[in-house]
Structure 1
């Protein structure tokens, strides 16, 4: 099988607003002793794209519910591909309380994150009057664990994390039965790497595929579920993988790279991951791990 085409992201580093400290402190607030590998995240709203038309004021109100009000939740806001222009004015309210003010969103940014307290039934209101028309992407997630484990034999097998991703290992990917774990995370360190060398908004979380102390010997098929808002937008969707060693650019390390992807009408993006995306630099205790997300490009 030919190696999938990898597009190395050679984007200039924009005026990045680092949020590593803020989100790290937020996660410590949520869960004392938080370890990003051990815990997952669960979507409760979005990702939803909001934009103003030709600079006209526009307010959208949407309703969503949660099953457990005792969970810790956070809301994230991403700028679109024109985020360097900023959004002239945008306000986000949840259950009548301001979460993000125009002063926070009305300037260039990549991603902003805040904790939020939810009720069983919730309303989110997004008002935009930006002259630039640059969209924002709003997502609300919890720290509810989202991970799955499967044993993959030398004959091949699948790891399915429902509502997020399906990974298929072909025969001979492993020469012995291997335990594979897949989880959903929103790592601030990963977001910083993405912002430094990639462009455009992305899913506000990454999919981590850990294969233990052995990397697969073949390419691996993956399909990633995308939200309806992404499909109905004017963006193109691609799968993006963090790669420590890229055979196409051997002198550059630890960058996000676009991988040729297809978009299905069944709500998934699909591609074949080259074996090089699995790196012992990313997994806990030197285990091999791939870090995947979906990116939007105009």
Structure 2
């Protein structure tokens, strides 16, 4: 099902200036240890790509996810993924139609990942390895406004009068299987293998907020278009449909971030713990 686009009230050109200083030095944090990396497939040909990466703390728990670059039900080419010589995904798993597969994996300080693709499809796969190390930040936002900066992932700016009293806001990175199920129910393409959660406590912001999400170089250099999408429980454009991911008008800035204005109704007390208001967003790829 095609996701419905939502219009914004902020001008994207102004957002580019707004975020220029805030994201210019961003890079990925420790939770993301490899990728997201595209591995292309060429119909009728077999090709094998080996890449190396390192991790600092091998005692963490890691997982590898592979996404299909296809937006159809035809699946991708048959292939295998090996890490440090051990088979992680078999041809039977990758050759079937899928959107995202995830498995735990053990890593060393220095690692090799080998991806071999062969078959009749030209669709790539996208491979990511992450640690389960928590990534979160908390900030107090006054009625005058303020920022929440989850370094190397996202920057959120609350304008004046977003809250009438000082409010504690938390932002975190999660890779929830339940959220992925909701995404797959109506999405047509791959996405960042994690979502960003913005929790504003016992009240939603009274105004739209400015958001910038750091994107990987592989997304920018691919043949896909990047869009921010949000999980919305009550969408005023589709009152008869609840709890699905919807596209948000967004633009790619010059600082390695995709930027948007997040509507207030994206925040729902159905998503946060103990009835708190939370927005769930990610970056989706559309071919």
Q: 1:18-56 CA distances to partner (integer Å, 9 max, x unpaired)?
A: xxxxxxxxxxxxxxxxxxxxxx99111111111112332
- Counterpart of 1:87 (choices 69, 76, 81) is 76
C-alpha spacing 1:140/1:216, structure 2 compared with 1 (3 Å): same
**TM-aligned CA deviation for residue 265 of structure 1:** 2.8
2:227 alignment partner in structure 1: 238
1:77 alignment partner in structure 2: 66
C-alpha spacing 1:41/1:244, structure 2 compared with 1 (3 Å): farther
> How many residues are matched?
262
The CA distance in 2 between the partners of 1:284 and 1:123, in whole Å, is 39
Backbone CA RMSD of aligned residues: 1.4
1:19 alignment partner in structure 2: none
1:6 alignment partner in structure 2: 6
Q: Segments of 4+ in structure 1 off by > 3 A?
A: none
**TM-aligned CA deviation for residue 267 of structure 1:** 1.0
**TM-aligned CA deviation for residue 85 of structure 1:** 1.3
Residues 71 and 188, structure 2, Cα contact 8 Å, conserved in 1: no
2:21 alignment partner in structure 1: none
Q: 1:136-159 CA distances to partner (integer Å, 9 max, x unpaired)?
A: 110101110100000000000000
Residues 182 and 209, structure 1, Cα contact 8 Å, conserved in 2: yes
C-alpha spacing 1:83/1:114, structure 2 compared with 1 (3 Å): farther
- Counterpart of 1:287 (choices 253, 276, 279) is 276
Residues 41 and 184, structure 1, Cα contact 8 Å, conserved in 2: no
With the length of structure 2 as denominator, give the TM-score of the two structures.
Answer: 0.89
SS of match in other structure, 1:222: strand
2:125 alignment partner in structure 1: 136
**TM-aligned CA deviation for residue 96 of structure 1:** 1.0
- Counterpart of 1:188 (choices 160, 172, 177) is 177
Question: 2:229 aligned with 1:225, yes or no?
Answer: no
The CA distance in 1 between the partners of 2:94 and 2:247, in whole Å, is 28
- Counterpart of 2:37 (choices 48, 61, 70) is 48
Residues 212 and 288, structure 1, Cα contact 8 Å, conserved in 2: yes
Gaps of 5+ in 1: 8-39
With the length of structure 1 as denominator, give the TM-score of the two structures.
Answer: 0.86
Gaps of 5+ in 2: 8-28
1:252 alignment partner in structure 2: 241
Question: 2:50 aligned with 1:61, yes or no?
Answer: yes
The CA distance in 2 between the partners of 1:222 and 1:201, in whole Å, is 21
2:189 alignment partner in structure 1: 200
SS of match in other structure, 1:119: coil
**TM-aligned CA deviation for residue 198 of structure 1:** 1.3
2:256 alignment partner in structure 1: 267
